[in-house]
Amino acid sequence: GMTIASAAMTSALDLKNASTFSALGLSVSNTGPDTSMSGDFGITSGSPSGSSFAISGANHVADSEASQAMLDIQSAYNDGISRPSTSNLAGDLAGVTLFPGVYSSGGAAISQSITLTFDAGGVSSSVFIIKIGGAFSTAATSNMVLANGAQAKNIFWLVGGAVGFATRAHAVGTFISVGALSLGDGATINGRTLSFAALNLYNNVLSGAVSASAQAVIDAAQAAAAQAAAAQAVIDAANA
């Protein structure tokens, strides 16, 4: 496949409070019994329509947390859009390998029919930012692959149009869309689906995001471990 190299390193976008959300939308619909998400959920107006779904984190329905998350993705989107592009993208990303950097399609739409690979080159902190001025769509059963240390949490898609994932497609990264963001039956995302407009779910598994409550447990455990290590160092010094 085609390889697109990008030399310049870029830093991750700061999602702030939105980082704990698997899904966020101005409006949300869900079809089918099998939609689930690892993080928090937010809708900024009204309540979700359609079938109920499983939320591991908090359910923020037209509350201040959902509104704040929407403001936070706006600032992250603006930050990403303002970053200088290091490479251009066009057409179908079928069989393409992307390396860390900032990619732009200009105002054009982008599609993906077969496997797209993200290659971090062995540097797991490497960041990928993909700016698509038009729509982004994937084909049924299309796949995105993380290679050589690439992490979904360091991949950011900023889409000026609508986003559409077809049936059983798999995608990676945080998707922030100005237009509607729609997932086909059984599509899966390792990352986040964050829409300034409608979010349409359909038997989807959204993994990767860690809810605010779960993150608090992790933070407390890490703090306790650090305290224990410090206490052990004092004991070791005393016994030396």
Considering only CA atoms, give the Rg of the chain. 19
As a whole number of angstroms, the distance between CA 149 and CA 197 comes to 32
- Percent of the chain at pLDDT exceeding 90: 95
The helix/strand count (H/E) of the chain reads as: 2, 24
**Cα–Cα nearest to 68, from 23, 15, 27, 28:** 15
For the cut 60, the answer to whether the pLDDT of residue 192 exceeds it is yes
Q: How confident is residue 1, by pLDDT bands cut at 50, 70 and 90?
A: low
* Tens of pLDDT, residues 28-70: 999 999 999 999 999 999 999 999 999 999 999 999 999 999 9
For the cut 60, the answer to whether the pLDDT of residue 7 exceeds it is no
For the cut 70, the answer to whether the pLDDT of residue 8 exceeds it is no
pLDDT of residue 4: 58
Q: How much is the average pLDDT of 198-211?
A: 97
pLDDT of residue 9: 77
CA 4 to chain CA centroid, Å, is 21
As a whole number of angstroms, the distance between CA 152 and CA 145 comes to 9
* Tens of pLDDT, residues 155-178: 999 999 999 999 999 999 999 999
Q: How much is the average pLDDT of 85-99?
A: 96
pLDDT of residue 5: 53
* Tens of pLDDT, residues 105-155: 999 999 999 999 999 999 999 999 999 999 999 999 999 999 999 999 999
Alpha helices (runs of H) in 22-127, residue ranges in sequence order: 64-82
- Percent of the chain at pLDDT exceeding 70: 97
pLDDT of residue 216: 94
pLDDT of residue 78: 98
pLDDT of residue 2: 61
Query: Cβ–Cβ contacts within 10 Å for residue 70, how many?
Result: 22
Tokens 């057409």, residue located: 91
For the cut 80, the answer to whether the pLDDT of residue 184 exceeds it is yes
C-alpha torsion 47→208→70→160, nearest 10: -100
For the cut 60, the answer to whether the pLDDT of residue 6 exceeds it is no
- Mean pLDDT (the chain) is 95
Q: How much is the average pLDDT of 94-112?
A: 97
For CA atoms 162, 137, 22, 32, the dihedral sign is positive
Interior/surface letters 28-41, b for 16+ CB within 10 angstroms, e for the rest: bebbeebbbbbbbb
